[in-house]
Amino acid sequence: MFSLILGGATTSNGDMSKENEIARIRAEIDAIDVSVHDMLMRRVALAEEMAVAKDNVAAGQARMRPGREAEILRDLFARHNGPLGFPVVARIWRELINANLRVEGDFTVALFSDGDATVPTKARSQYGDLTPSIECDTAAAALDLALAQRDTITVLPFSEDQTWWANLAHTEYSSLKLIACLPFVLRDDEAITAVSVGALEREETGEDVSLAIAECTGPNINPANVNIVGRSGDMLLVAIDDYCAEDDARWQALLNFDGVVSVKPIGGYAKPIILGGDA
């Protein structure tokens, strides 16, 4: 009698059990995907409602809230565990936040990199790959866009040798404030490389840095608890490791130093989340 035995036609109970387990896991993942998609669509629907609510409360003001965004990521970081690296979680949520901002209005990023290729990269990471961006040849041009367009923020490089911040001392830019640092999630061997400026007020987050421009005509000032982080001619960029409103007494105290002519607060940023070296 002729017999044809097909290789692999039979499967042991052990193999069937493994295949059933894989099928069960895949089915659960598929169900999670559907639930996540449903929640994403609901989140965007709420963004549309939020756009109307914001306009009813503060028509004409920029819709983004950097302080609230920082608090959201800090809350996620505090509860996060497992093998998924937190930078992945942060990037997902940044994309969600930015997608909502694009639904709420014409959210756009103006960029001045001053030849630093990392600035556009950090801007995309912070504000989303799909958010429209405009490259500018000068810092003033980028700041002008944030001044002229409600939902445009400007990203600029931030280091000791940068002096673009001196523009914020001019009356024409009085409505612009430094509002965020980039990146907001960084390893302990990284540093802040850029900042955002926009026509909106800061919100206290509990862990903040505040900045002001001090115009000086005398010797260098050296007040306690104030760091000098930049210099442009007779202007100093000074920072306080705390949230300081524009009328904070600590700014006024700088005027007691000889040679300090004026002090103009220019905003600040929520302190970034610092990851361990193995994150």
The pLDDT tens digits for 93-137 are 999 999 888 888 889 999 999 999 999 999 999 999 999 999 999
Q: How many domains does the chain have?
A: 1
* Residue 43: other Cβ atoms inside 10 A: 14
Whether 53 is in a domain gets the answer no
Could you tell me if residue 146 is inside a domain?
yes
Q: How confident is the model at residue 25 (pLDDT cuts 50, 70, 90)?
A: very high
5 pLDDT more than 50: no
Domain assignment present for residue 228? The answer is: yes
Strand intervals (E) in 49-130: 108-111
Q: Classify residue 13: in a domain, yes or no.
A: no
Pairing of strands 235-240, 227-232: antiparallel
* Averaged pLDDT of the chain: 88
Residue 29 inside a domain? The answer is: no
Q: Is residue 98 part of a domain?
A: yes
Residue 26 lies in a domain: no
Cα 60–chain centre separation: 22
Of all helices (H) and strands (E), which one includes residue 262?
Answer: strand 260-270
Instruction: Say what the pLDDT of residue 224 is.
Output: 67
Domain span holding position 242: 38-48+62-274
> 219: which 2 tokens?
């010797």
Residue 245 CA to residue 90 CA, distance in Å, equals: 28
Could you tell me if residue 22 is inside a domain?
Answer: no
**Per residue in 58-70, pLDDT tens?**
655 667 899 999 9
- pLDDT, tens digit (0-9, with 9 covering 90-100), for 255-265: 888 788 999 99
Enumerate long-range contacts of 135-139, CB under 8 Å, 24 or more apart. 135/111, 136/110, 136/111, 136/112, 137/112, 138/112, 139/112, 139/114, 139/164, 139/167
C-alpha 222/C-alpha 238 separation (Å) is 10
261: which residues sit within 8 A by CB, 6+ positions away? Answer: 215, 216, 217
Q: What is the mean pLDDT of residues 198-227?
A: 86
User: What pLDDT sits at residue 44?
Assistant: 87
For residue 158, pLDDT beyond 50: yes
Name the pTM for this structure. Answer: 0.86
